[in-house]
Amino acid sequence: MALSSKYHGKVLIVTAHMAHIDAAVAIQFKDEIRAEIDDHAQHVILNLAEVQFIDSSGLGAIVASMKQLKGNRKLDLAGLTPTVAKVFQLTRMDTVFKIHTSVDEAMSNDGN
């Protein structure tokens, strides 16, 4: 599986390079996200622009990743493709996460 990350100012952008976050990869995805986010990252944006499909186990893995960030640390999402956005909307997880249209949009609004 492929995740990459880089800092834009103080914001850590983690990009998922995969078409599916489903039951076949959910546990591995959760472990890799944990490894990718260092303790200093206060603000993380998970870029899902390459992800075409997510199921409930993938959704659970992203929720678990957010819950691991304690205190004021936060995890936002960016670049949801239509089917992925639909899953977040149906489960009302779109009310839990801050969702940016794209990483570029997130960065231009963030001031970082």
Partner 1 sequence: MTATEQALKRARLGDDTGCVCMPSAGKLLLRYTSSNLGTRQAMKALLHGLNPWQLSATDQGKIQVALVEVLNNIVKHAYSNQGSGIIEITCQPFPGHLGFEVTDTGIPLPAHCLTNDHLPAVDIQASLPEGGFGWFLIRQLSYDISHERRKGKNHLNLKIRLEDPSAQLA
Which chain residues interact with partner 1 by CB under 8 A? 20, 22-24, 53, 55-57, 59-61, 63-64, 66-67, 82-83, 86-87, 90-93, 95-96
Three state DSSP letters for the chain? CCEEEEEECCEEEEEECCCEECCCCHHHHHHHHHHHCCCCCCEEEEECCCCCEECHHHHHHHHHHHHCCCCCCEEEEECCCHHHHHHHHHCCHHHCCCEECCHHHHHHHHCC
Q: Which is nearer to partner 1, 83 or 108 (CB)?
A: 83
Smallest gap from Cβ 27 to partner 1, in A, equals 10
Smallest gap from Cβ 6 to partner 1, in A, equals 27
